[in-house]
Each structure stands twice: as structure tokens, then as C-alpha cells.
DNA sequence: CTAGGGTTAG
């Protein structure tokens, strides 16, 4: 009764729409109320309704409401698109996109949508939409390339860059260059990275500090600390990102002394370190086993009056890594238990990694149990646990972990290595026979194995995690992806150039020993990047000094 | 009312 007599006001409707968020039926009722209220229906009033409908997933009704709107603004299109993304309806969104095609808001919304798909892990949808976009402008191309790199799809970014270069309608700019240098760093593609940069120079693109920082990072991620240092010294300006890039890069390349020296120089020059800088410093300590120094720097952060330098989860993970790697497993465990932040999978993962390095079964098991709860979908942790069991010869436990993984559908990431040659990346899996030079590669491998065996190389069968006979273990080991990659490098590269091998996972003991021997008998430098760090092999010695 | 792209770390 009362409701009928009380005139419905905009404020009331707006309130109503804001508070009722989760019941589709209620939302439809309110919509009816809006339509019959006689109030002039403004888009702003319908915005909440649209948002709520997309939240509850009633996209059909959301579309109906949207179609009733008068000249919807960009953000309203966006709301609907976001709804489609969230409810995983790529085809509807493309349909909507086609409708939008005649309007001038086209590019902006579609670009944002493509990025959103990528960030949701919907690679196929993102590609589908991106390719359906007609007359893409520079920003659209750049956005796609950038988001590819950000989501770890650098190979796709490279592909896209080539397509963009082939398209006469767009020219690239410094944004493109930065993303591409970043992509080349990820891929370990030194030649292509240089090519991109040289082309930018030729075409008169303004190579500002961001471009140079990206190039610096590219050199370091490709293991070329020499070129990075030359560039760093030549740079007209250096900001905190330049310094941090150097510190992080040198730490990753195993030169902790240089990393810490850079940190001191930076402070002497009055550049304030930020939290990323400290991540580099801590990781430098970690890779060199400098426990006391690491604690010192962590203490500096914790005591700093600068709020932005308060240790974050990543710093705690670094400390766990530092303690654990140095064999202080119990201390690392206590450190986690006492930390003021909620430990995440990355922190527990660091401890599990350390348990694996030191063959610590009991603690490893405990940590793995925690990780099954917090990150059941990350196969790497289960693999670590199973490796710990395997190293101790507890094969029935290995089987248990494996069958559990099978039951949960947890996937292992397959190991692969790559080597760049002649501006082209060559990929190898374990036991790979797909490369056109397969025959020559395996012959080279045999030849080298024979030579280094006579010099005392013994396969480290301890790093085979299957319960098989020794002979089988050796043959399984000898075809690891990094060995194939090294053999490929021996055949193809110039003798004076190092062989740069990029591996997606941690390398094994045997491949590490193998690379040392090979660097000695062939007099070639081998630079190997694994998931954690670089190993620079020269004349039978590795830069890591056996601590990794 | 605003609203698409870039560097270090994860």
C-alpha cells in the first residue's frame, strides 16, 4: 500500500540497485520497477543493474538491459564485456564487438578486452578476438604484445611483432621496443633483441631510459653481463630501475660480489633503493651462501622508517631460500612460523626446494603436506617431494606421490632447453628426435661423452628419479634436453662464441657435471640459464662454485 | 565524471 503511494525516487532506486546484488529474481523485479516508475531511465541508474547481473552471471538478461540503454558509454560496453569474460562466453563478446564496430569506441574496449582475456588465462579467446579486430591501431598491437610478455607468452609476442612489421598500416614505437626486449630476455634471444633495438635506432625511435633499462635487462637475462656493464656505464641517465636491474641481473648470473658492490655504489650516488632492489640484494646473498649478510640486509629493511621498504612476502621467500640453501633448514622453518605475514605457496615452496637440495625427507614431507593444501594445482611441488623420496631410494613413496598426482590430475611441466642460432630459437625436449639435425646432434653427443668419460666423467645417476637399472639410468640421463642443446651448440656456433642454453626448469647434477667437462675438452664457454640462475662454465669450472 | 600499451620483482 504504502509503496504505491510513495513516489519512487531516483535515489531510492539507486540505493535499491546498489544493495541488491546477488539474487537474479530480485534484480529482474527491480528492473521492472525501473521501467514502470515513469522516471526517465538514465543509464547511470541501469549501470548497477547491469553490473549486478554480470556478477550473478545472467548474461542474457544483462544484454537485454544493455540493449535498452541509450547510447551506452565505453565503460558500459566494458561492463558487459567483462561479464562475458568472467562467464567465459568469448563468442558472445565477439558478437557484441561486431555490433560495436561502427562506433568510434571500438578500439579502446576491444583492446582492454583482449588484455583481460589474456590475464584470465583465456589465450585462445584473446587471440580469436585480437585477430578479428579490423584496422588495429598501434596501441592495440602494443597492448597485445605487452600482455603476451606479461603472461609469459613471449614466443607469441615475437610472432605478433613479426606480423605487425609486415603490416604497412602501423609503425612501431618505443612501447613496442620495450615489450620486445622484455620478450627476448624471457626467451634468451640475444640476437633478436639486438636486432629489434638496432631497427628502432635506424627508424629514429626515441630510446628513452625505459627502453635502455629494458635492453639492460635483456642482456642480463641472456647471460651477457659484459654487454650489460658496457651499456650501464654508457647510459646517460640511470634510475632506481636501472640499478635494480643490474643488481638482480648480477645476482642471477652468480656474481654476488658485483651485485653487492653495485648496491653500495648506488647508495653512494644518492639513489634510494626500493623493494625490488632489496630482492636483488637478498638473492645475491642467497646464491653465494652469505647468510649473515642476508640477515643484515633483511634487518635494514625491517628497521627502516620507510614504510615502502617493509619486507614483503617475496623477501621472506628469499630469506627462506637463503637459510635453506645453506642447510639451515630448521631455522628456515622457524623463520616461516614466526613471520608476521601469512606464508604463501612461494615461501613454502622455497623451503621444499631447500629440502630437496639437502635430501631432507622428514621436513620435506611436512612442507609438501602444507603445499598440497595451498597449491594443489602446482605439480612442481609434488615432483620435488617425489624427487626427495627417489634420492633416498624410497620408491614406494615415489609411487604414492605419483599416483596421487594422477588422481588429482596435477600436471608436471615438461623440461625443455633452447639455444639461439642464426636468429632462430631451437628447442629440445628430453630424448628429442624432431630437430632436422638430430643425427648429427646425437653423434656429437656420443663423441663428446666418449671423450669426457676417458677424462673421468661419471654419470651422476643419483639424479635419475625412476627405479631402474644403472645402465638404463645412464642412457636416460645422456639425452636430457640441455645435453642435446649443448651438442647442437657445439655443431653450429662459432668457436669463439659461448653456447647459451636456456632451460625452463632447474638443471640436474649430471648435466652440471657434463657441462663442466665439455667446457674443458672443447674450450668453449657454456652459459646455462635454468629456472633459478645462471651457470657460466669455462675450462671445466662453473661460476656457481658448486653452490646452487 | 574517468576509462586501451612499456622497464626491475613474482
Instruction: Please check whether residue A370 lies inside any domain of the structure.
Output: yes
Task: Name the residue closest to the C1' of B6 by its CA.
Answer: A175
Rounded to 10°, the helix A275-288/A313-325 angle is 10
Task: From the CA of A256 to the C1' of B7: give the distance in Å.
Answer: 22
Return the closest nucleotide (C1') to the Cα of A185. B7
User: What is the pLDDT tens value at each position of chain A, 548 positions in all?
Assistant: 333 444 556 666 666 666 555 566 777 777 777 666 666 666 667 777 888 888 888 888 888 888 887 767 767 777 888 888 777 787 888 788 777 765 655 667 788 888 888 988 889 989 998 998 888 889 999 999 999 999 999 999 999 999 999 988 889 999 999 999 999 999 999 999 999 999 999 999 999 999 999 999 999 999 999 999 999 999 999 999 999 999 999 999 999 999 999 999 999 999 999 999 999 999 999 999 999 999 999 999 999 999 889 999 999 999 999 999 999 999 999 999 999 999 999 999 999 999 988 988 899 989 998 998 888 788 888 888 888 888 788 888 888 888 888 888 888 889 999 999 999 999 999 999 999 999 999 999 999 999 999 999 999 887 677 777 777 777 788 899 999 999 999 999 999 999 999 999 999 999 999 999 999 999 999 999 999 999 999 999 999 999 88
Kindly state whether residues A467 and A371 are assigned to the same domain: no
Kindly state whether residues A292 and A392 are assigned to the same domain: no
Task: From the CA of A5 to the C1' of B10: give the distance in Å.
Answer: 58
Return the closest nucleotide (C1') to the Cα of A73. B3
Task: From the CA of A208 to the C1' of B4: give the distance in Å.
Answer: 22
User: What pLDDT sits at residue A385?
Assistant: 86
Kindly state whether residues A342 and A406 are assigned to the same domain: yes
Kindly state whether residues A393 and A434 are assigned to the same domain: no
Task: Name the residue closest to the C1' of B10 by its CA.
Answer: A314
* CA–CA distance, A90 with A124 (Å, rounded to integer): 9
Return the closest nucleotide (C1') to the Cα of A112. B4
Kindly state whether residues A302 and A385 are assigned to the same domain: no
User: What pLDDT sits at residue A4?
Assistant: 40
User: What pLDDT sits at residue A1?
Assistant: 34
Kindly state whether residues A334 and A405 are assigned to the same domain: yes
Task: From the CA of A485 to the C1' of B2: give the distance in Å.
Answer: 51
Return the closest nucleotide (C1') to the Cα of A115. B4
Task: From the CA of A456 to the C1' of B2: give the distance in Å.
Answer: 69
Instruction: Please check whether residue A441 lies inside any domain of the structure.
Output: yes
Q: Tell which of A284, A311, A338 closes a domain.
A: A311
Local structure of A137: helix, strand or coil: coil
Task: From the CA of A90 to the C1' of B6: give the distance in Å.
Answer: 27
Return the closest nucleotide (C1') to the Cα of A114. B4
User: What pLDDT sits at residue A384?
Assistant: 86
Return the closest nucleotide (C1') to the Cα of A179. B6
Instruction: Please check whether residue A301 lies inside any domain of the structure.
Output: yes
Task: From the CA of A59 to the C1' of B6: give the distance in Å.
Answer: 34
Q: Tell which of A283, A311, A339 closes a domain.
A: A311
User: What pLDDT sits at residue A81?
Assistant: 82
Instruction: Please check whether residue A229 lies inside any domain of the structure.
Output: no
Return the closest nucleotide (C1') to the Cα of A43. B1
Nearest residue to A399 via CA among A321, A498, A466: A466
Instruction: Please check whether residue A70 lies inside any domain of the structure.
Output: no
Nearest residue to A165 via CA among A185, A125, A138: A138
Task: From the CA of A313 to the C1' of B2: give the distance in Å.
Answer: 33
Reported for A151-160, long-range contacts at CB under 8 A and 24+ positions apart, including other chains, are A151/A118, A151/A119, A151/A121, A151/A123, A152/A186, A153/A118, A153/A123, A154/A182, A154/A183, A154/A184, A154/A186, A154/A187, A155/A187, A155/A425, A156/A123, A156/A127, A157/A183, A158/A183, A158/A184, A158/A187, A158/A189, A158/A192
Q: Tell which of A413, A441, A456 closes a domain.
A: A413
Assess contact for A531 and A504: CB atoms under 8 A: yes
Task: From the CA of A72 to the C1' of B1: give the distance in Å.
Answer: 15
Please provide the DSSP assignment of A154-170 as one string: HHHHHHHHHHHHH-TT-
Kindly state whether residues A454 and A404 are assigned to the same domain: no
Kindly state whether residues A333 and A400 are assigned to the same domain: yes
Nearest residue to A8 via CA among A29, A27, A36, A28: A36
Kindly state whether residues A296 and A409 are assigned to the same domain: no
Instruction: Please check whether residue A271 lies inside any domain of the structure.
Output: yes
Bases of chain B below 7 A from a protein C-beta are: 1-10
Instruction: Please check whether residue A135 lies inside any domain of the structure.
Output: no
Task: Name the residue closest to the C1' of B3 by its CA.
Answer: A75
Kindly state whether residues A422 and A394 are assigned to the same domain: no
How many domains are there within chain A?
A: 3
Return the closest nucleotide (C1') to the Cα of A279. B9
Kindly state whether residues A432 and A520 are assigned to the same domain: yes
User: What pLDDT sits at residue A2?
Assistant: 37
Task: From the CA of A75 to the C1' of B3: give the distance in Å.
Answer: 6
Cβ atoms < 10 Å from Cβ of A7 = 9
Instruction: Please check whether residue A499 lies inside any domain of the structure.
Output: yes
Task: Name the residue closest to the C1' of B4 by its CA.
Answer: A108
User: What pLDDT sits at residue A5?
Assistant: 40
Kindly state whether residues A462 and A534 are assigned to the same domain: yes
Could you tell me the residue range of the domain that residue A514 belongs to?
Answer: 417-542
Assess contact for A41 and A25: CB atoms under 8 A: no
Using H for helix, E for strand and C for coil, what is the string for A191-241? HHHHHHHHHHHHCCCCCCHHHHHHHHHHHHHCCCHHHHHHHHHHCCCCCHH
Return the closest nucleotide (C1') to the Cα of A109. B4
Task: From the CA of A177 to the C1' of B6: give the distance in Å.
Answer: 8
Amino acid at each position: 500500500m504504502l509503496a504505491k503511494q510513495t513516489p519512487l525516487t531516483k535515489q531510492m532506486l539507486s540505493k535499491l540497485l546498489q544493495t541488491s546484488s546477488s539474487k537474479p529474481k530480485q534484480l529482474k523485479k527491480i528492473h521492472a520497477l525501473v521501467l514502470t516508475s515513469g522516471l526517465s531511465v538514465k543509464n547511470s541508474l541501469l549501470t548497477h543493474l547491469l553490473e549486478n547481473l554480470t556478477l550473478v552471471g545472467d548474461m542474457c538478461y544483462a544484454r537485454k538491459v544493455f540493449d535498452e540503454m541509450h547510447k551506452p558509454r565505453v565503460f558500459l560496453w566494458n561492463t558487459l564485456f567483462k561479464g562475458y569474460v568472467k562467464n567465459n562466453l568469448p563468442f558472445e563478446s565477439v558478437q557484441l564487438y561486431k555490433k560495436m564496430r561502427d562506433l568510434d569506441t571500438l578500439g579502446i574496449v576491444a583492446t582492454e578486452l583482449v588484455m583481460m582475456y589474456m590475464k584470465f588465462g583465456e589465450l585462445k579467446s584473446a587471440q580469436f578476438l585480437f585477430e578479428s579486430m579490423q584496422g588495429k591501431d598501434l596501441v592495440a598491437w602494443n597492448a597485445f604484445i605487452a600482455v603476451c610478455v606479461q603472461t609469459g607468452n613471449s614466443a607469441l609476442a615475437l610472432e605478433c611483432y613479426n606480423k605487425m612489421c609486415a603490416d604497412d598500416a602501423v609503425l612501431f614505437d618505443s612501447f613496442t621496443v620495450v615489450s620486445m626486449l622484455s620478450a627476448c630476455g624471457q626467451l634468451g634471444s640475444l640476437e633478436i633483441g639486438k636486432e629489434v633495438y638496432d631497427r628502432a635506432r635506424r627508424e629514429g625511435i626515441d630510446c628513452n631510459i625505459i627502453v635502455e633499462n629494458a635492453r639492460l635487462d635483456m642482456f642480463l637475462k641472456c647471460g651477457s653481463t659484459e654487454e650489460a656493464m658496457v651499456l650501464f656505464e654508457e647510459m646517460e641517465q640511470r634510475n632506481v630501475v636501472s640499478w635494480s636491474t643490474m643488481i638482480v641481473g648480477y645476482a642471477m648470473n652468480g656474481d654476488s660480489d658485483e651485485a653487492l658492490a653495485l648496491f653500495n655504489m648506488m647508495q653512494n650516488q644518492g639513489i634510494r633503493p626500493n623493494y625490488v632492489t632489496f630482492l636483488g640484494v637478498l638473492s645475491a646473498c642467497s646464491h653465494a651462501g652469505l647468510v649473515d649478510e642476508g640477515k643484515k640486509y633483511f634487518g635494514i629493511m625491517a628497521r627502516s622508517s620507510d614504510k615502502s621498504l617493509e619486507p614483503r612476502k617475496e623477501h621472506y621467500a628469499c630469506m627462506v631460500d637463503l637459510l635453506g640453501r645453506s642447510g639451515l633448514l630448521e631455522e628456515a622453518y622457524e623463520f616461516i612460523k614466526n613471520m608476521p605475514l601469512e606464508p604463501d605457496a612461494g615461501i613454502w615452496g622455497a623451503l621444499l626446494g631447500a629440502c630437496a637440495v639437502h635430501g631432507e625427507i622428514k621436513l620435506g614431507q611436512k612442507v609438501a603436506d602444507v603445499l598440497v593444501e595451498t597449491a594443489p594445482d602446482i605439480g612442481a611441488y609434488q615432483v620435488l617431494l617425489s624427487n626427495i623420496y627417489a634420492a633416498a631410494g624410497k620408491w614406494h613413496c615415489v609411487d604414492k606421490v605419483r599416483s596421487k598426482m594422477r588422481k588429482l590430475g596435477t600436471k608436471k611441466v615438461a623440461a625443455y632447453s633452447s639455444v639461439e642460432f642464426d636468429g632462430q630459437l631451437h628447442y629440445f625436449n628430453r630424448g628429442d628426435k624432431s630437430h632436422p639435425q638430430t643425427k648429427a646432434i646425437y653423434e656429437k653427443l656420443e663423441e663428446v661423452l666418449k671423450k669426457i668419460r676417458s677424462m673421468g666423467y661419471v654419470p651422476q645417476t643419483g639424479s635419475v628419479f625412476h627405479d631402474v637399472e644403472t645402465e638404463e639410468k645412464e642412457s636416460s640421463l645422456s639425452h636430457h634436453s640441455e645435453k642435446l642443446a649443448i651438442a647442437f651448440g657445439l655443431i653450429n656456433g662459432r668457436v669463439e662464441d659461448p653456447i647459451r642454453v636456456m632451460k625452463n626448469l632447474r638443471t640436474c647434477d649430471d648435466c652440471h657435471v657434463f657441462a663442466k667437462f665439455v667446457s674443458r675438452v672443447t674450450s668453449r664457454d657454456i652459459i646455462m640459464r635454468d629456472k633459478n640462475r645462471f651457470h657460466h662454465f669455462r675450462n671445466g669450472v662453473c661460476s656457481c662454485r658448486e653452490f646452487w
